[in-house]
Structure 1
Amino acid sequence: MVQKIEDRPSTTLRAAPSTVSDGTAPVDTAWRVLAVLGALMGFASISTDFYLPAMPAMAIALHATSGMLAFSITGYLIGFSVGQLFWGPVSDKFGRRLPVAAGIVLFVIGSAGCALSDSAETIIGWRIIQALGASACVVISRAIVSDLYKGARAARMLSTLMVVMAIAPLLGPLVGAQVAAWAGWRAIFWLLVALGLAALAALYTIPETLSPLRRQAGLLSGAFARYARLLTERRILAYAGAGGFFYAGMFAYIAGTPFAYIIYHHLPAQYYGLHFGAGILGIMGTNVLNARLVARMGADRLLIVGALIAALAGTASAVAAWTDWGGLWGLLLPLFVFVSCTGLIVANSVAGALAGFSMEAGSVSAVVGALQYGSGIAGSGLVGLFTDGTPRPMGWIVALAGIGCLMCARSLKNASFDGIRK
């Protein structure tokens, strides 16, 4: 059995001896576990954000429309959602490390395929493969957190990890723009290949966190029956709905801002990463705030506050997109506030859904992730479908997503979920 890493009030991460469940060497420091989990959770952001500044150039090189390139994000989300439904029960049955390793290999293959593609349609296909691999890293890293932490500690740990993983999307567009300018957009995907191989090596510095005694003994074919049962849990649906609506707005933002900023508002492509990175700084800030307040205020209350701010900011972005009031800054500022709400919404919604399901953490994490990223399919897909050369479709989708997030979060206020409130 893995010895749980003690949750310490200090910000200093000390050595925490943890024994691997198969009896091999222990992990020597807690910070190594944090770093590797942060890297694994960052795969989704890395895969999306690195190539955002190069999307207009890719559209020209591949003779594709901006809407078609936006579907490369939609294709990624399809693979990411489906993949989580597969990897969750696999990790509950076989442990955490082996499925993650298999996922990283798929990620590397998909990234190489993107680098070698000669059409937008081929890019979309390889993006699905890439996402199938990346989904293993994210869904299983959340399950590992559930293995090691419970309740408010799990929410605080997820917030801490999101601060760590936020470094990747903060640097991603900046690095991606420079790599594309220096070596072309294909070099971005070769860089992802290298990062995947580095993550594969780092994976074996952390222990297996699911002992054989706690693994699911049934057939994998029973996974869908478990999913059907979990989807009848009102608590899971409420938390996943709040996160899902928010993800729809987030991926509408991700799919729409490269063209809204660079094409419509004439922002030089090399500066896109700076504006995108400002949003990541906002995410880091609210995650730090959430980690400090969640034990005192409760995850549900912070989730509702974040959803309310997201609804207001989304509505403001829709007005700015429709009227052009304030130009680029009029659009950028409310979108910055919306994106920053990630720190109050995502960790608390995931931790809330996982609470009380420790024996099925992988499956619950998969259901929640699939619903959330499946909503992202709708957000990015609608941006591609209703593209009209203006930021208006993106703005209204973000607004509706924020309102939907608030409605789901408000449904938690008067509900009693087996006494789980933090």
Structure 2
Amino acid sequence: MTDRNAHPQQTAEAPRGWRLMAVLGLLMGFASISTDLYLPAMPAMSRALGADNGMIELTVSGYLVGFSLAQLLWGPISDRFGRRMPVAVGLVLFIVGSAGCALADSTPTLIIWRLLQAIGACASVALSRAMVRDLHDGARAAQMMSTLMTVMAIAPLLGPLVGGQIAAIAGWRAIFWVLVAIGVLALLALMTLPETLPRARRSDDALRRALRHYMMLVSQPRLLGYVGVGAFFYAGMFAYVAGTPLAYIDYYGVPSQLYGLLFGAGVVGIMATNMLNARLVGRFGVDRLLLGGALSTMLWALMAAINAYTDWFGLWGIALPLFLFVAMAGFIIANAISGALQDFPDHAGAVSALVGATQYGGGVLGSALVGLWSDGTPAALGLVVALGAAGCLLSAVAVVRSRRPG
């Protein structure tokens, strides 16, 4: 009988090299690809569809609703049927949803197609994380996760820059046709990877029992701590994603083509800290780096909030601390995910889905609050970022104080 608790590399053949990293990085990047590419076009979309700024920001929130909730279904499906088939189905839904966005003639219609787009995209993100856990565990999983996040950071780095140019040359609808092409490319790339979850390690549970599994998982205090770290950080992160286009472009007068440079600077920071995390995690451990990242996050968020309310130093008074806030993702996300996955190897799909659902659920709340509280200044952005950082720090402290199960 196969030991389902065996080390992942004993039960799954691990493909190696740049091909594995490139494909998994592409799949993990779908959350960023789907939103960052059209960020510079949001003001133009608002004008074209006759919507106010708050309504256009709901295209981000609507996407995150679908992205967060659908993961709870994809996780158990993948634990039972393997990883590749659900990812392939999700990519097809993403392609259809992207085409619908390109053809939308009103903001509500655009939000609906964004919802379908998200339901498909989240399969790629959640299950690629589970594929990492299929192949590696412990500090090695955290190292690989950090490396992959460095690779996938290319998407948000180039996304606003490329999106701004596409919108300027061909209009905002062309951005969604580009997403259709990316979805097709990812589907073809997926076919080059083997299945990472062997039949011997798949769950025999019926899908209707998935809710019971989630109830068991959320009863684990340590897991809830990891979940909270990611969820609160994403609330601040997506407040940044939804709020900075209008704050930088409309309030501070940054040209849309140059917005991508400011946004991309934060992504460079994420890449740098992910690389540093990959080097340090074997020495200091997941939890210590997680706590250090959360402390730094709180510091930069407070500085951003103060400057957002006072406008003491203008654009740079908020852009610089927000850059440093976003950069802390390198110490937060990979460690929160790998820490959560480490204790439940037999339910990696469900745990990954739960972590992803709560992270992007936090993103829904953060981006929605920025839209609802918007008063035409960066004040709402600063407040939501600070609240998210506070929750992130409290959750990290809870993780450090808890004991690992068993």
| Structure-to-structure mapping, 1:195-210, within 5 angstroms | 195-210=182-197
The 1-side partners of 2:285 and 2:126 are apart by: 24
SS in 2 for 1:411: helix
The 1-side partners of 2:119 and 2:297 are apart by: 29
C-alpha displacement at 1:218, in angstroms?
1.6
Match of 1:270 among 253, 257, 274: 257
Which TM-score applies when normalising by structure 1? 0.93
Q: Confirm or deny that 1:143 pairs with 2:127.
A: no
The 2-side partners of 1:411 and 1:98 are apart by: 37
SS in 2 for 1:412: helix
The 1-side partners of 2:109 and 2:371 are apart by: 17
Task: Give per-residue Cα distances to partners, 1:28-52, cap 9 Å, x unaligned.
Answer: x422111100000000000010000
| Structure-to-structure mapping, 1:204-283, within 5 angstroms | 204-283=191-270
The letter of the residue matching 2:67 is F
The letter of the residue matching 1:57 is A
Match of 1:356 in 2: 343
Task: Give per-residue Cα distances to partners, 1:337-389, cap 9 Å, x unaligned.
Answer: 00000000000001111112111000000111111110111100001111110
The 2-side partners of 1:281 and 1:69 are apart by: 27
How many residue pairs get aligned? The number is 401
The 2-side partners of 1:238 and 1:113 are apart by: 38
Q: Confirm or deny that 1:417 pairs with 2:404.
A: yes
C-alpha displacement at 1:416, in angstroms?
1.4
The 2-side partners of 1:19 and 1:266 are apart by: 52
Q: Confirm or deny that 1:346 pairs with 2:333.
A: yes
Match of 1:188 in 2: 175
8 Å CA contact 2:8, 2:133 repeated in 1: no
The 2-side partners of 1:5 and 1:217 are apart by: 18
The 2-side partners of 1:224 and 1:112 are apart by: 33
Task: Give per-residue Cα distances to partners, 1:248-293, cap 9 Å, x unaligned.
Answer: 0000000000000000000011100010000000000000000000
| Structure-to-structure mapping, 1:107-122, within 5 angstroms | 107-122=94-109
In structure 2, runs of 5+ residues without a counterpart are none
Q: Confirm or deny that 1:30 pairs with 2:47.
A: no
Match of 1:85 among 58, 63, 72: 72
C-alpha displacement at 1:236, in angstroms?
1.1
The letter of the residue matching 1:96 is R
Match of 2:284 in 1: 297
The 2-side partners of 1:63 and 1:162 are apart by: 37
The letter of the residue matching 1:345 is I
The letter of the residue matching 2:177 is W
C-alpha displacement at 1:4, in angstroms?
8.4
Task: Give per-residue Cα distances to partners, 1:38-79, cap 9 Å, x unaligned.
Answer: 000000000010000000000000000000010000000000
C-alpha displacement at 1:414, in angstroms?
2.4
8 Å CA contact 1:178, 1:270 repeated in 2: yes
SS in 1 for 2:150: helix
The letter of the residue matching 1:238 is G
8 Å CA contact 2:7, 2:137 repeated in 1: no
Match of 1:152 in 2: 139
Q: Confirm or deny that 1:284 pairs with 2:264.
A: no
The 2-side partners of 1:265 and 1:107 are apart by: 34
The 1-side partners of 2:54 and 2:345 are apart by: 41
8 Å CA contact 1:322, 1:392 repeated in 2: yes
In structure 1, runs of 5+ residues without a counterpart are 7-17, 21-26
8 Å CA contact 1:50, 1:173 repeated in 2: yes
The 2-side partners of 1:169 and 1:5 are apart by: 31
Match of 1:72 among 59, 63, 79: 59
Match of 1:98 in 2: 85
The letter of the residue matching 2:187 is L
The letter of the residue matching 2:70 is G
Q: Confirm or deny that 1:324 pairs with 2:311.
A: yes
The 2-side partners of 1:210 and 1:353 are apart by: 19
C-alpha displacement at 1:19, in angstroms?
4.8
8 Å CA contact 2:222, 2:398 repeated in 1: no
The letter of the residue matching 2:331 is L
Q: Confirm or deny that 1:133 pairs with 2:120.
A: yes
SS in 1 for 2:153: helix
The letter of the residue matching 1:78 is V
The 1-side partners of 2:60 and 2:337 are apart by: 22
The letter of the residue matching 1:218 is D
The 1-side partners of 2:401 and 2:119 are apart by: 37
8 Å CA contact 1:264, 1:390 repeated in 2: yes
The letter of the residue matching 1:413 is V
SS in 2 for 1:350: helix
SS in 1 for 2:400: coil
The 2-side partners of 1:227 and 1:418 are apart by: 16
Match of 2:162 in 1: 175
The 1-side partners of 2:312 and 2:237 are apart by: 22
Task: Give per-residue Cα distances to partners, 1:198-230, cap 9 Å, x unaligned.
Answer: 000000111101011111112111111111111
C-alpha displacement at 1:5, in angstroms?
9.2
The letter of the residue matching 2:194 is P
The 2-side partners of 1:5 and 1:38 are apart by: 20
Match of 1:47 in 2: 34
8 Å CA contact 1:69, 1:120 repeated in 2: yes
Match of 1:394 in 2: 381
Structure 2 CA distance for partners of 1:397 and 1:107, relative to 1, 3 Å = same
8 Å CA contact 2:8, 2:137 repeated in 1: no
CA RMSD of aligned residues (A): 1.6
